[in-house]
């Protein structure tokens, strides 16, 4: 006897998703790269690589290193810049029958705001994700993502200029992530996504040198999952806006863990690099799990942790 | 381009530290081009996490067995054991499962030149085999200059010769062929065939030297580059190399996995022009 198909649909601040699985920024190109391997209409949303006001060169190579159950990247947010993005990437994104979320960042407050204004005008963009994990070079290395006041300033500045759902992405490189979560919620974030990569390092004992040209890089993959899960758990309890869980999700089981602690949706990052079909397998796995457990709506599972 | 969950047909050591692996790969004989590569996922667990890139050595079809099974299409790789991923690959046997993503990237472009010169060092000889096959089939007179540290690094010499390729060997220690660098042989050949199309694959210092020689002789050069890769499909931007016009304030990075791994040397920034390929 076949069971009815469970509903995997979730909602993020008015944005309806057919299921809670979407890519993490920077691991999915601008979407089109993955079309040969993955039905983009099978996932909850498409998320693009981080965009800035001007094109950004990124860091010198080597930019990646493999570590135990993870990888370090020091890509340095290389991207084509907002104008080329609108000209070259948006036409393809427009054709998709899947919500499009654009991740963006700036070096200074006015850059964030200018990009937000430009994104407001693009109909094909359904929501934006604000990455506040990059150093504010001008103000002497303050990081928007680690100073609650700086974070609040940039979030409210962007919120004012933006007519779409605003997701704010937090860095795990802080002492207490709930402080940052509350600061961005109060200043206008509609959704919080967490976490970005953890700062790490790798060295080569043969050549006695650093593996990455940049010295340090961002750690992602299965190695960070327990840390990310803990932070998502804490943030879900600290705020009332929906939370997107990110960090080391490789399988449906990993995704279900984040949903169980209260994430409304999840982002899959490094897994896409390892297996471009990963998200499709995760969606299938979640659906199968729901069938097996007799769950007919994924929202019954979200946040159902017994404590 | 596809992601195949497939099995190994054979995997055996062909020289100390070098292995040859055939993998069941429907569609590859028709689609794979010389110079393209695959990303191989050795085991479906987290360690090692990332796939490893390997050049395509050969493609082919096994005749049906007496059981009347359909012909089986395969791809062959040749690899050197250097670290955890390739160590694990060396333990695999017939019937073991792997995941194969590919064929990926842009391969060599066979030009009209009647007297092409191929230059390969060590494992860089791998993608040149398929290229040599194509060029020989088109009736070109192919010359291959093979370089290596010792005789163990000179791979597949008889197979190249069987294609009808004229081979010239040089090793650093003189254990096979002439002693010295492959670039000395290249100088001589270019003096004889000025303007010949050169195709090269090998370690970066070798490619730098080959480029310097080709530049002085104003002869066209295609190079296959190696870069650390995570995704192989252009998503992570981990594999970039500086393009000719690259400057800090005006980025011109080329993506090795998508725009390469084979590049026209003119598109790249080379050491003598201030960058590093
Ligand atoms: C397009 C392309 C085609 C390739 N074709 C072949 C091939 O046909 N045969 C073959 O043997 N190898 C080939 N390589 C190199 C091969 O990918 C690496 O040797 C392999 O990834 C090493 O994996 P590992 O886990 O054994 O080593 P690791 O433990 O990851 O590293 C061990 C050592 O190998 C070096 N290394 C790791 N990855 C690479 C890489 N991508 N390129 C160069 N050095 C690397 C590391 O810097 C380190 O010094 C190719 C690489 C690319 C990019
Ligand atoms: C190669 C790479 C590039 C990334 N680029 C970005 C980016 O441009 N913007 C951003 O907000 N996060 C970026 N990230 C972080 C991921 O979106 C994600 O937060 C992180 O990788 C953790 O998830 P994972 O363990 O599933 O990969 C990048 C991560 C990787 C591995
Ligand atoms: S390896 Fe990821 S972009 Fe080339």
> Which residues of chain B make contact with A224, given a CB cutoff of 8 A?
none
Which of these three, B104, B135, B156, is where a domain ends? B104
Give the residue, A134 or A136, on which the prediction is more confident.
Answer: A134
Using the predicted structure, report yes or no on whether residue B273 has a pLDDT greater than 80. Answer: no
pTM of the model: 0.94
Asked if B210 contacts B221 with a C-beta cutoff of 8 angstroms, the reply is: yes
B35 within a domain of the structure (yes/no): yes
Q: Quick one: tokens of B45?
A: 């667990």
- Which residues, 6+ apart, have CB-to-CB distance to A154 below 8 Å? A106, A109, A112, A130, A132, A144
A3 within a domain of the structure (yes/no): no
A15's torsion region: left (phi>0), alpha (psi -120 to 50) or beta? beta
Amino acid B1: pLDDT: 65
Which of these three, B80, B104, B128, is where a domain ends? B104
Residues B52 and B100 in one domain: yes
Say if ligand 3 is within 6 A of residue B220 CB. no
Residues B277 and B151 in one domain: yes
A5 within a domain of the structure (yes/no): no
- Ramachandran angles phi, psi of B209, nearest 5°: -65, -45
This complex has an ipTM of 0.91
Average pLDDT, chain A: 93
Ligand located closest to B39 CA: 1
Q: pLDDT, tens digit, for every residue of B97-143?
A: 999 999 999 999 999 888 999 999 889 999 999 999 999 999 999 99
Interchain proximity B233–A33, CB inside 8 Å: yes
A2 within a domain of the structure (yes/no): no
Using the predicted structure, report yes or no on whether residue B50 has a pLDDT greater than 60. Answer: yes
Host domain of residue A143: 10-300
Say if ligand 2 is within 6 A of residue A136 CB. no
Q: Over pLDDT 70: what percentage of chain B?
A: 95
Q: pLDDT, tens digit, for every residue of B166-214?
A: 999 999 888 888 888 888 889 989 988 888 999 999 999 899 999 999 9
Residues B133 and B198 in one domain: yes
Say if ligand 3 is within 6 A of residue B237 CB. yes
Ligand-binding annotation for A272, yes or no, is: no
3-state secondary structure of A170: strand
Alpha helices in A193-251 (DSSP H): 225-238
- Closest partner residue to A75 (CB to CB) among B99, B236, B246 is B236
> How many CB atoms are located within 10 Å of the residue A287 CB?
18
Residues B15 and B77 in one domain: yes
B266 within a domain of the structure (yes/no): no
B198 within a domain of the structure (yes/no): yes
Residue in this structure with the two tokens 């769950």, named with its chain if needed: A295
Host domain of residue B57: 2-104
Domain count of chain A?
Answer: 1
Residues B124 and B214 in one domain: yes
Using the predicted structure, report yes or no on whether residue B277 has a pLDDT greater than 70. Answer: no
Amino acid A124: pLDDT: 95
Residues B136 and B41 in one domain: no
B267 within a domain of the structure (yes/no): no
Q: pLDDT, tens digit, for every residue of B224-270?
A: 999 999 999 999 999 999 999 888 777 789 999 999 999 999 999 99
> How many CB atoms are located within 10 Å of the residue B201 CB?
29
Q: What's the CATH code of the domain at B242?
A: 2.10.240
- Give distance in angstroms: CA of A8 to centre of ligand 2: 24
Say if ligand 2 is within 6 A of residue A103 CB. yes
A97 within a domain of the structure (yes/no): yes
> Which residue, among B27, B41, B49, would best test binding to A if mutated, counting the most A CBs under 10 Å from its CB?
B49
Residues B99 and B218 in one domain: no
Residues B173 and B277 in one domain: yes
Q: Over pLDDT 90: what percentage of chain B?
A: 68
Amino acid A2: pLDDT: 61
Amino acid A307: pLDDT: 86
- Give distance in angstroms: CA of B64 to centre of ligand 3: 37
What is the set of active-site residues of A?
134
Interchain proximity B234–A272, CB inside 8 Å: no
> Which residues of chain A make contact with B238, given a CB cutoff of 8 A?
61, 63-64, 73, 75
Output the residue whose Cα is nearest ligand 2's atom 12: A25
- Round to whole Å and give the CA distance between A272 and A26: 10
- Closest partner residue to B3 (CB to CB) among A63, A69, A275 is A275
A153 within a domain of the structure (yes/no): yes
What pLDDT band is residue A141 in, cutting at 50, 70 and 90? very low
Amino acid B180: pLDDT: 84
Residues B114 and B183 in one domain: yes
Q: Which of B137, B107, B102 minimizes the C-alpha distance to B199?
A: B107
Ligand located closest to B128 CA: 1
Q: What's the CATH code of the domain at A188?
A: 3.20.20.70
Alpha helices in chain A (DSSP H): 82-84, 90-94, 109-120, 148-161, 177-186, 225-238, 252-260, 270-274, 278-293, 298-301
- Round to whole Å and give the CA distance between B122 and B113: 25
Residues B134 and B204 in one domain: yes
Using the predicted structure, report yes or no on whether residue A136 has a pLDDT greater than 50. Answer: no
Domain count of chain B?
Answer: 3
> How many CB atoms are located within 10 Å of the residue B127 CB?
28
Residues B124 and B256 in one domain: no
- Closest partner residue to B238 (CB to CB) among A55, A64, A276 is A64
- Give distance in angstroms: CA of B251 to centre of ligand 1: 26
Range ranked top by mean pLDDT from A77-86, A223-232, B153-162: A223-232
Residues B44 and B86 in one domain: yes
Would an 8 Å CB–CB cutoff place A88 in contact with chain B?
A: no
> How many CB atoms are located within 10 Å of the residue B151 CB?
15
Q: What's the CATH code of the domain at B62?
A: 2.40.30.10
Amino acid B226: pLDDT: 94
Using the predicted structure, report yes or no on whether residue B12 has a pLDDT greater than 50. Answer: yes
């Amino acid at each position: 006897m076949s069971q009815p198909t469970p509903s995997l649909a979730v909602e993020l601040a008015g944005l309806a998703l057919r299921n809670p699985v979407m890519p993490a920024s920077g691991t999915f190109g601008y979407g089109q790269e993955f079309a040969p391997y993955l039905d983009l209409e099978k996932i909850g949303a498409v998320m693009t690589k981080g965009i800035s006001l001007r094109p950004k060169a990124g860091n010198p190579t080597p930019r990646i290193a493999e570590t135990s159950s993870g990888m370090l990247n020091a890509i340095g947010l290389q991207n084509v810049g907002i104008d080329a993005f609108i000209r070259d990437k948006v036409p393809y994104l427009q054709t998709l029958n899947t919500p499009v979320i654009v991740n963006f960042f700036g070096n200074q407050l006015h850059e964030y705001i200018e990009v937000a204004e430009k994104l407001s005008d693009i109909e094909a963009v359904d929501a934006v994700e604000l990455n506040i994990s990059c150093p504010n070079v001008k103000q002497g290395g303050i990081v928007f993502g680690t100073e609650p006041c700086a974070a609040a300033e940039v979030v409210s500045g962007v919120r004012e200029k933006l007519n779409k759902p605003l997701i704010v992405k937090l860095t795990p490189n802080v002492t207490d992530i709930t402080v940052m979560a509350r600061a961005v919620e109060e200043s206008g974030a509609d959704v919080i996504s967490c976490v970005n990569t953890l700062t790490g390092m790798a060295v080569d004992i043969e050549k006695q040198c650093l593996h990455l040209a940049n010295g340090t890089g961002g750690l992602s993959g299965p190695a960070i999952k327990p840390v990310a899960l803990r932070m998502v758990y804490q943030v879900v309890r600290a705020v009332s806006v929906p939370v997107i869980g990110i960090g080391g999700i490789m399988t449906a089981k990993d995704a279900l863990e984040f949903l169980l602690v209260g994430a409304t949706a999840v982002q899959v990052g490094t897994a896409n690099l390892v297996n471009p079909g990963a998200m499709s397998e995760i969606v299938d796995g979640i659906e199968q799990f729901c069938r097996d457990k007799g769950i007919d709506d994924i929202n019954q599972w979200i946040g159902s942790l017994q404590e | 381009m596809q992601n195949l969950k497939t099995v190994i047909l054979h995997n055996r050591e062909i020289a100390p530290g070098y292995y040859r692996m055939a993998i069941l790969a429907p569609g590859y004989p028709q689609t794979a081009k010389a110079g393209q590569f695959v990303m191989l996922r050795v085991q479906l667990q987290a360690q090692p996490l990332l796939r490893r890139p390997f050049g395509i050595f050969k493609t082919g079809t096994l005749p049906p067995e007496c059981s009347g099974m359909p012909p089986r299409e395969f791809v062959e790789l040749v690899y050197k054991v250097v670290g955890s991923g390739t160590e694990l690959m060396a333990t695999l046997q017939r019937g073991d499962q792997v995941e194969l993503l590919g064929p990926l990237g842009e391969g060599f472009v066979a030009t009209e030149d009647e007297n092409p010169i191929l230059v390969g060092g060590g494992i860089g000889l791998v993608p040149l085999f398929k290229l040599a096959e194509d060029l020989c089939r088109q009736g070109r007179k192919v010359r291959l200059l093979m370089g290596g540290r010792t005789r163990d690094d000179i791979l597949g010499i008889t197979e190249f010769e069987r294609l009808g390729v004229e081979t010239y060997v040089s090793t650093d220690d003189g254990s096979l062929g002439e002693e010295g660098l492959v670039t000395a042989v290249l100088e001589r050949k270019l003096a004889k065939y000025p303007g010949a199309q050169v195709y090269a694959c090998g370690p970066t210092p070798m490619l730098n030297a080959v480029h310097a020689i080709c530049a002085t002789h104003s002869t066209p050069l295609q190079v296959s580059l190696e870069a650390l890769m995570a995704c192989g499909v252009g998503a992570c931007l981990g594999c970039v190399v500086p393009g000719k016009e690259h400057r800090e304030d005006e980025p011109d990075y080329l993506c090795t996995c998508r725009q390469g791994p084979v590049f026209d040397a003119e598109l790249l920034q080379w050491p003598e022009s201030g960058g590093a390929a």
